Amino acid sequence: MAHTFLCTIETEGINAALKFVSRSKTTSEFMVTFLTAPHIEPFIMMKDGENWKLPCHLPEEVKALEDELLRVADKFQR
């Protein structure tokens, strides 16, 4: 059963609506989609031990939101 979480991030003059989808009940990864920026390809965040890890090939505009993305993933983790 998939879990879907929607959120908005407002930081450094950037406003973004995001969708986090976990394919399983126990969250070890999220597929992240930028709803307000469809030109950004969806990507997968993975749990690495106790911490979340973003892929290294993210666009610069996403890297500006890195701390917020990690915070949200912690919040939605099950």
Given a cut of 80, whether residue 12 has pLDDT beyond it is no
Residues 68-77, buried b or exposed e (16+ Cβ, 10 A)? bbeebbeebe
Which amino acid is located at 2 in the chain? A
Terminal CA-CA length for the chain: 13
Pairwise CA distance, residues 48 & 13, whole Å: 30
Q: Give the total number of structural domains in the chain.
A: 1
Q: What's the domain range around 33? A: 3-76
The 10s digit of each residue's pLDDT in 22-47 is 988 888 999 999 999 889 999 999 99
pTM over 0.85: yes
Is residue 71 very low, low, confident or very high in pLDDT (cuts 50, 70, 90)?
very high
41: which DSSP letter?
P
Model pLDDT for residues 52-61, shown as the tens digit of each residue: 999 988 888 8
Query: Can you give the pLDDT at residue 1?
Result: 64
Query: Is the pLDDT score of 6 beyond 90?
Result: yes
